[in-house]
Amino acid sequence: MADVYEKNKATSVAEAKNIVPRAEFRVFGQGIINIVEAAMWKAQATLFKVRQSSEVYILSRHTNEANVKIRDGLLDIKTKVGETEDGFEIFQPQGKFQFPVNKEELQTIFDNLLVKVELDKDNINLDDFLSMVHDHGDAVAVDVQKERYGFTVNGVICEYAKILFNGALVETACVESEDYAAMKEVAEALEIAELENVNYLKAAKRVVGL
């Protein structure tokens, strides 16, 4: 089973395209963790990892289909490539780029965000990138702190987490897998299947008012 909390590392566009994407069902709100913790043990969950991370999400006013974030000094992008019959979203990794990021890679990222920029340097460092986002009216950088608890139910990867979006606390839980039928069963077992499916981008936008 893949470890979703494995050490973050740079990934080229070609390498990313060889990654088989998992579908994800995710919910946000208050009281989510209590619901999941009560249900997960009845579902015979196996807790396997706890991780804390500090990330920056780049939100676009024009799309919720390009998941762009900075974590561990890497600029990470995934793009939505489809949904399952149950509405689980599928995001394909498109690369994790070490700063300074070259002009072509960064142009592709802004194109996916549907944000128009003029890049006048061949390589862009982290501070310059964040300055471009800050100065652009169609993109917003959001500080995201995560305390994540990963577990499995019947081999399906799950987690619950405490999230701070620019300091505002919300709770989340998710189920992800290439096995869509198993995902649905586990979401039901965790008693979150009837809640609204919301990805990180939409949740962050709601919190910051974008």
Superfamily of domain 13-208: Hypothetical Protein Pfu-838710-001 (2.40.320.10)
* pLDDT band, residue 4 (cuts 50/70/90): low
pTM of the model: 0.89
Residue 130 and residue 119: Cα distance in Å, rounded?
A: 13
pLDDT in tens, 147-202: 999 999 999 999 999 999 999 999 999 999 999 999 999 999 999 999 999 999 99
pLDDT in tens, 55-98: 999 999 999 999 999 999 999 999 999 999 999 999 999 999 99
Please tell me the predicted confidence (pLDDT) of residue 1.
Answer: 45
**Residue 100: C-alpha distances to residues 48, 73, 75, 97, 159 (Å):** 34, 10, 10, 8, 32
Closest CA to 159 of 200, 106, 208, 122: 200
Residue 11: pLDDT above 80? no
- Domain coordinates in residue numbering, the chain: 13-208
* pLDDT band, residue 7 (cuts 50/70/90): low
